[in-house]
Structure 1
Amino acid sequence: MKKILGAFILFLAFTFNANAQDKAFKKVDVAVEAKKNASEMADYLKLNSTEVENFFHLFEYKFNVLNENLSEERKAELARIIDLKIRATLSPAQMEKLEKNTELLKKLTH
């Protein structure tokens, strides 16, 4: 009887621990967050409407992937990929201006 009670208590402890980890992750509204990122970037770099739309789709992709509760390693890889795509799209002058605003660049890539 003691073994059954002990196993039951361990089962409950692991169940509560697993639920606590699931609740810590919050999904975001993809469209809203992507629009925020694209508009902040557009305001800072004075982008045209086509560029804004392209970056909106990039950030939409980013938030869709981030909603999957990734490991830290995969998040770092996603940030690297987003950074490379931004660098490939912007002109050198625009990228230089964006690099000066490290806070915005980090927000856009992470």
Structure 2
Amino acid sequence: MKKALSIFVLFFAFSLSANAQAEKMTTQKELSIEEKAKQNVESLTAVMDLTNPMSESLNQLFYRKYKMLSKENITVAEKQGISNEIDAKLRATLNDELIQKLIAKGLYKNLIN
């Protein structure tokens, strides 16, 4: 009886530990998405002056992009669709001169993929 009880206690302790690690990994994943979005906005800021509302809007766009890309079992077609959506929204937000400037610096491809 003591063995069964000790096995149950060890199993319970292991389950709690595994659950805590899974929650920690989820939090780290969300932070990395936020950091990636912020890096994209910072790379844009290095090329052009962004107003605060535009910066916030672009940060939300890139956050959404990385959130969608972080889904499990995402297909190549879904990734391409996300890339096309980001491309369309950036082209609608920025003028052609800025787009060409980003392409020349090699940043545009990184922003949409």
| TM score, norm. by length of structure 2 | 0.67
* Equivalent position SS for 1:68: coil
- Identify the residue that residue 12 of structure 1 maps to in structure 2: none
* Equivalent position SS for 1:46: coil
1:35 paired with 2:17, answer no
Segment drifting more, 88-97 vs 30-39: 88-97
Pick the aligned partner of 1:92 from 79, 96, 105.
Answer: 96
Amino acid at match of 2:89: K
Pick the aligned partner of 2:59 from 53, 56, 65.
Answer: 56
- Identify the residue that residue 108 of structure 1 maps to in structure 2: 111
Q: Which runs of 4+ in 1 moved over 3 A?
A: none
For 1:39 and 1:80, how far apart are their aligned partners in 2?
21
| TM score, norm. by length of structure 1 | 0.69
1:67 paired with 2:62, answer no
Deviation at 1:36, TM superposition (A): 0.5
Structure 2: gaps spanning 5 or more residues = 1-28
For 2:51 and 2:84, how far apart are their aligned partners in 1?
25
Higher relative contact order (CA 8 A, sep 6+): 1
Aligned-pair identity (%): 28
Give me the CA root mean square deviation. Answer: 1.5
Asked if the contact 1:45/1:98 (under 8 Å) is kept, the reply is: no
Asked if the contact 1:42/1:48 (under 8 Å) is kept, the reply is: no
Pick the aligned partner of 2:47 from 25, 44, 47.
Answer: 44
Aligned residues, how many? 83
